[in-house]
Structure 1
């Protein structure tokens, strides 16, 4: 193709046309007539747009409006009606009269043979320019260009699609004029900053593009456009859709968040609430968690649902549709969500949650609100009411299970304003539900174990404290919270002979069923040893031997790789209301608090002793006299130890709470717990046992004693003394039995023991106690007398005629005692 030196010359062989600023053809060369078939008089003065078979590309339109250079391809209309593909190059007219010169470089009819190029470019510069223009126009990244006034000069096809408006309607407008409001106000500010600083900026935003139905994640780049001198002449915006990587990161973050926030407690209901809290808003618009009724009641797996979700085999009609569930948690992004029914209900047959419960597989559903509302029967939720009337378009029904057992169903719901659930969301929900199911199962199993341990422990603790004459007692026991588990704290009040009483408080190392079982064995051992009237230090020695033996037995049965501690602490106190003496010994246990009648409280300084289970170490006891009305406080370390203060502060608080004027014991107990255990929603970290005892004393009118010589005649004198004293006390009806008991016990002392011999009668509130002491350490025993035996029937008669009898050893010898109920005297 030859070109004249002047492309505007009529003789030029290159097709040439000129268009003024209004888009009217002002020049039409003969070569242009040859290319398109129009004579000059048919074209000049007419709109140039009438010659085109398709609208001008945005870049060409910009060139026409700004009188700027441009090259590219156009589809023109030939005079004969056919379409012609022409390659053009436009530049301002050299005369500067407002015209734009269009040089038609080549023309190719539409439908040219395959392989023939649609565009013919004159040189490499034209080719490069065209490629750059095509890259801009056809780029899948939404791009727009703004001038120094931040007014739009052009946008590629992807940006036009996202904008939802034609480019012609946006040209010359600022971004905030095109799209007012967030996030475009912030985009406008960033564009101004780029124009000022010349630095590229990037922002990651989640919003709904005007031409898109839903929110998506966008990485937006604001780039300065600089001329050859480095001066900023405009700003380009490029928006890259990052929704899928954003969702992948969100899913990963949600899985990590679920692992950290679900299962923080060993409580079934709270675990279900945590599942709803983690997924509501970030994943679903509404979440409900329904658990099998047996799970919420902490029943064992044998009574719960199997893999099919069926309930226990009770002969009821049914299958999985009949499974009984309860709403454990429900949350929504909308206000006014009801808490949900707590009573038991069943899903409608063949509904998504019923199918998920039956199959144990998650499922994705597209449904209308009316279908969702019919999912549950007899108390199930009408979920459409919780979505503010917007309806429901997608639902995930995901079973909660662990170890082959289905525990319930989680429903995840989205309304039409958000992205519908897809297959990736189903996998994410299944992963989160699997983790939550394990946490629910762990909490359920722990609840079962804790219930067993708590039941065992409460059955081993005294259900009702006795009411001994020696002391007035009251107690409190608080089991540890769910995280720690039930411990092995115990207390006891044991009546002893001679109107005395033993007070015991102990603490077994560890928590759970094992600790409760050890506690029960130790409490039973203490009671057995107390019946032998052993001194406190000797009793702790025998108890220490028992703990050592338990540890050895457990070590022999222990599974390799497991660790199980066996140990305990104990405080044992014996109080005698006749002498008002108190003997104490402790094995690694906190010292008791003594509050004297004047209200002064102090910790008793008694030997500490090693904890039980070390073996081979001695225990020491201490004896002191207590004024009548003194208060003894025995407790376990859970009362004074806490994570928010040290044990010293707890001990000071206990002493302060017990100080002051005497008050009813129940009131004092409550005051101590209120002072040391602030009102908190969580339970204590360790078991707490508190035993308070206010001492009484028996005056001289309730106790009489006589020293007797070791002679046979003294038996008659002993019967006489006892009879006279019973008459003085008004207990003549007990005279026959008492004289028989005194005669037998004194006779044995005279025959088989040594002087001094002492007879003592004690009148308690509910019993009469007869004691005979001697200097012998030999204990009598009851045996079956043969027909011809002259003796051996005395202790048998004593055992038959009295309520209790026994022997206790003292430093001087022994004492044989027998008790009769005062009820026998009317």
Structure 2
């Protein structure tokens, strides 16, 4: 190439750089005044040369940090050290409403002899790249931060934490009240009058709202808010003005937005699979740049991610609500009122396990107290709990001893585990149970435990009674080893506390601290059982429970001669008449004349059978419980069987008669022999009704 050609090429290149290249190029003299600039560069188009040439940055681009740029430029002139890709932001000279982020590179210009001629400054507009990077950073933080809990309100707060100050100046999230209550959500459009609950309102500056966080609100129809909830589509209002439909239709909201200086707004519905969960509103007030279509996409992505987490929280709460409702339906509404014990209970639903209790009236005035836990979560654990409760009730009414009952229950749990295929991550069926039987006639209490927290027996003075119930393996884990039952005689007024692990968890790994705390709370014999349950609820469980917590309290009573009559009769058929006389006299003393005739017939049949088929003396006992109990005990362990007598038969009608005269009847077995019992409803003479406790 000839020298002239090279000169012409260099001149053409310079001309192109200063007239047609998209990048900014400025030549400054040693006084930092513009000598020449690229008129085609973005941000400089339309500016006449005399508005730039001969001027400093402060003069032609006052929206940029001129003091910082002047300091850096003088350093480059003095040292010759170039500056590359320095990011600065400011407003475009010919469009002060638009902000610009620029990447600057500065080079010193020197003559061949070393004389400093000035600076060459290259400017690259990276506003869009910067905005894209910031949007990606916001979405990345959203993926990392949103949805860390199974709490819908907390998830809304995480959205606000990600967006406020970076994407929007104000973020408001309203969720359907049914979402926060775990109720069923119908798919499709949401009517405008459906109540929403304010989950979060967060802003960079103070923002006054007539809807405090946590309160209910409803939307004014029709606005972009109601339309987004109806068709599940986001809305963008780039420039919010007084005549906008949102402002016109909802004057109160418009006034608050105007007071906050709202300039631009995005409404994004929170929806999953066609089901609306709530609404997110992003507002820019202090930020000058309005929302654009790319911001609408970011807001939609933020809302979608939040909706997924809110839906997961709702689904968990919905399933938990169903499981809790099922569990409550499967539990007794209240313990039965029994003369043997005074009872009260406390049940607090947690996030795991299904606790249950029972107070089962037994023959002889006795009562069975049951407390158990099924490990697991949700409907499955509640359903298993219902099954075990039914089994325990059935076995209890068969008068099985505590150790035998737990053995059968252990086998039942193992069979359920074999029949159940657990879902991934779910444990196999496992449960615990504490079972005890209290006899108010003798004060005797027998108990056995399977993997359950130990019984807490408290004396009338507040101290612990000597009643240590051995704890066997959990139900389903026993492996046929069996369980050990112990029995003691309890003084009247003893307090029996049956509880589950959730009530004492959290104090220490072994739960001893929680048990000590529970004992201190219960060591107040002057307080009623209901008051004690409240004390435990207030003091021992101040936080949300990770698992179910249950407390069953029973205060014992002893039956005296006003409730029990006992006779021992010889095995002689002649004593049947004597037995009828004794019963008649006792019922007269109790004021139970209305059941005297039926009771005498029942006693005659039971005593006759005991003498005919039994061995040794016969024991006859009357107990005035909720009903009138008539018991006949003999030493023969053979069970009586009722049969339907034919017309010509002379016998076989005894037990059939007992069944018709009784509300219930049955047989229980002792260490020696058996007891046949029958229960009748009480019919008290009017003149005695007021005096009988």
TM-score (norm 1): 0.71
Is 1:595 matched up with 2:478? no
State the partner residue of 1:338: 210
SS at match of 2:375: strand
Q: Using the alignment, how far apart are the partners of 1:130 and 1:669 within structure 2?
A: 94
Q: Using the alignment, how far apart are the partners of 2:284 and 2:409 within structure 1?
A: 65
Structure 1 position 432, deviation (Å): 2.0
State the partner residue of 2:443: 580
**Partner of residue 370 from structure 1, selected from 221, 224, 242:** 242
SS at match of 1:824: coil
Is 1:510 matched up with 2:376? yes
**Partner of residue 529 from structure 1, selected from 388, 395, 405:** 395
State the partner residue of 1:634: 498
Q: Using the alignment, how far apart are the partners of 2:87 and 2:290 within structure 1?
A: 23
SS at match of 2:684: helix
**Partner of residue 688 from structure 1, selected from 549, 567, 570:** 549
Superposed, which structure 2 residues align to 1:445-464 within 5 Å?
Answer: 445-464=315-334
Q: Using the alignment, how far apart are the partners of 2:74 and 2:468 within structure 1?
A: 80
Structure 1 position 759, deviation (Å): 1.2
State the partner residue of 1:385: 256
Per the alignment, do residues 143 and 752 of structure 1 end up closer, same or farther by CA in structure 2, a change over 3 Å counting?
farther
Per the alignment, do residues 419 and 602 of structure 1 end up closer, same or farther by CA in structure 2, a change over 3 Å counting?
farther
Contact residue 785 and residue 792 of structure 1 kept, 8 A: yes
Per the alignment, do residues 646 and 226 of structure 1 end up closer, same or farther by CA in structure 2, a change over 3 Å counting?
farther
Q: Using the alignment, how far apart are the partners of 1:573 and 1:763 within structure 2?
A: 22
Contact residue 347 and residue 550 of structure 2 kept, 8 A: yes
Q: Using the alignment, how far apart are the partners of 2:27 and 2:519 within structure 1?
A: 78
- For residues 552-590 of structure 1, what are the alpha-carbon distances to aligned partners after superposition, in whole Å with 9 as ceiling and x for unaligned? 2223xx68x685521211110111122212111111111
Q: Using the alignment, how far apart are the partners of 1:450 and 1:376 within structure 2?
A: 43
SS at match of 1:347: coil
Per the alignment, do residues 563 and 657 of structure 1 end up closer, same or farther by CA in structure 2, a change over 3 Å counting?
closer
State the partner residue of 2:196: 326
SS at match of 1:382: helix
SS at match of 1:579: coil
Structure 1 position 185, deviation (Å): 6.4
Structure 1 position 493, deviation (Å): 1.1
Q: Using the alignment, how far apart are the partners of 2:131 and 2:154 within structure 1?
A: 28
Structure 1 position 685, deviation (Å): 0.8
Per the alignment, do residues 210 and 470 of structure 1 end up closer, same or farther by CA in structure 2, a change over 3 Å counting?
farther
Contact residue 272 and residue 328 of structure 1 kept, 8 A: no
Q: Using the alignment, how far apart are the partners of 2:438 and 2:408 within structure 1?
A: 20
Structure 1 position 188, deviation (Å): 7.2
Q: Using the alignment, how far apart are the partners of 2:510 and 2:9 within structure 1?
A: 83
**Partner of residue 646 from structure 2, selected from 778, 782, 786:** 786
**Partner of residue 472 from structure 1, selected from 342, 363, 368:** 342
State the partner residue of 2:571: 710
Per the alignment, do residues 298 and 733 of structure 1 end up closer, same or farther by CA in structure 2, a change over 3 Å counting?
closer
State the partner residue of 2:139: 255
Q: What's the Cα RMSD here? A: 4.2
Structure with larger RCO (C-alpha < 8 A, sep 6+)? 2
Q: Using the alignment, how far apart are the partners of 1:741 and 1:748 within structure 2?
A: 11
Per the alignment, do residues 292 and 677 of structure 1 end up closer, same or farther by CA in structure 2, a change over 3 Å counting?
closer
State the partner residue of 1:15: none
How many correspondences in the alignment? 672
SS at match of 2:417: helix
**Partner of residue 432 from structure 1, selected from 302, 312, 319:** 302
Structure 1 position 778, deviation (Å): 1.9
Q: Using the alignment, how far apart are the partners of 1:190 and 1:625 within structure 2?
A: 94
Comparing 443-452 with 622-631, which one deviates more in the overlay?
443-452
- For residues 432-455 of structure 1, what are the alpha-carbon distances to aligned partners after superposition, in whole Å with 9 as ceiling and x for unaligned? 222223233333333332222111
Structure 1 position 742, deviation (Å): 1.8
State the partner residue of 1:812: 672
SS at match of 1:510: coil
Unaligned runs of 5+ in 2: none
Is 1:801 matched up with 2:664? no
Per the alignment, do residues 816 and 310 of structure 1 end up closer, same or farther by CA in structure 2, a change over 3 Å counting?
same
Q: Using the alignment, how far apart are the partners of 1:565 and 1:740 within structure 2?
A: 53
Per the alignment, do residues 206 and 473 of structure 1 end up closer, same or farther by CA in structure 2, a change over 3 Å counting?
farther
State the partner residue of 2:23: 140
SS at match of 2:216: coil
Per the alignment, do residues 209 and 336 of structure 1 end up closer, same or farther by CA in structure 2, a change over 3 Å counting?
farther
**Partner of residue 221 from structure 2, selected from 327, 347, 361:** 347
Is 1:245 matched up with 2:152? no
- For residues 162-183 of structure 1, what are the alpha-carbon distances to aligned partners after superposition, in whole Å with 9 as ceiling and x for unaligned? 9x99557855x9x7x9999996
Contact residue 214 and residue 417 of structure 1 kept, 8 A: no
**Partner of residue 726 from structure 1, selected from 587, 603, 607:** 587
Q: Using the alignment, how far apart are the partners of 1:619 and 1:141 within structure 2?
A: 89
Per the alignment, do residues 239 and 638 of structure 1 end up closer, same or farther by CA in structure 2, a change over 3 Å counting?
farther
Per the alignment, do residues 124 and 353 of structure 1 end up closer, same or farther by CA in structure 2, a change over 3 Å counting?
same
Q: Using the alignment, how far apart are the partners of 2:120 and 2:657 within structure 1?
A: 114
Superposed, which structure 2 residues align to 1:633-672 within 5 Å?
Answer: 633-642=497-506, 647-659=511-523, 662-672=526-536
SS at match of 2:441: coil
Unaligned runs of 5+ in 1: 1-119, 312-321
Comparing 499-508 with 236-245, which one deviates more in the overlay?
236-245
Structure 1 position 208, deviation (Å): 5.0
Structure 1 position 747, deviation (Å): 1.0
Structure 1 position 720, deviation (Å): 2.4
- For residues 471-510 of structure 1, what are the alpha-carbon distances to aligned partners after superposition, in whole Å with 9 as ceiling and x for unaligned? 2211111111xxx35x311111112122211111111110
Structure 1 position 773, deviation (Å): 0.9
Q: Using the alignment, how far apart are the partners of 2:75 and 2:618 within structure 1?
A: 111
Q: Using the alignment, how far apart are the partners of 1:604 and 1:219 within structure 2?
A: 82
Structure 1 position 385, deviation (Å): 2.5
SS at match of 2:322: helix
State the partner residue of 1:541: 407
Q: Who wins on radius of gyration, i.e. which is larger?
A: 1
Q: Using the alignment, how far apart are the partners of 2:622 and 2:267 within structure 1?
A: 79
- For residues 43-91 of structure 1, what are the alpha-carbon distances to aligned partners after superposition, in whole Å with 9 as ceiling and x for unaligned? xxxxxxxxxxxxxxxxxxxxxxxxxxxxxxxxxxxxxxxxxxxxxxxxx
